[in-house]
Amino acid sequence: MVSIPVEPTPYDLLAESDEGLQRVQVKTTCGDTVGVTRVKYGLRSYPSSGKYGGRRPYSADEIDLFFIYTATGAMYLIPVTAVKGMTRLALTRYAGYRLSGLTERPYSNLAESSG
């Protein structure tokens, strides 16, 4: 069972499983890397000073899992504890977290013609 929060939260959805409730942050990418950061509270859209600029990594206090969906249809379910402190992931390093048995397709950034 999946639930969507009605108040602002660091996670995008709650998923109920045999392990209990899991807080899931959803990320998408057109390539084989993905950013896994969030904007610091109270900052404007321009970069600020500091280690991560205006962004920072998620922590295990905020979320439990990343669900990553790529343009080819590949899906990953990665525990936040497996990427502690990271701001960008090269998905080839996380092949063990890839959800198998799902249909993928080649990616093209060209619009399909309808006629």
* 110: in domain: no
**DSSP state at residue 98:** B
pLDDT at 113 over 50: no
Q: How many separate domains does the chain show?
A: 1
Which of the four pLDDT bands, split at 50, 70 and 90, describes residue 61? very high
3-class SS at 94?
A: helix
* pLDDT for 55: 77
* pLDDT for 40: 62
Instruction: Dump pLDDT digits (tens) for 67-101.
Output: 999 998 899 999 999 999 999 999 999 999 999 86
* 114: in domain: no
Output the DSSP codes for 13-48: EEEEETTEEEEEEEEEESSSEEE-EEEPTT--SS--
- pTM for the model stands at 0.77
* 17: in domain: yes
* 113: in domain: no
* 65: in domain: yes
- For 62, counting Cβ atoms within 10 Å of its Cβ (0-12 exposed, 13-18 middle, 19+ buried), the class is middle
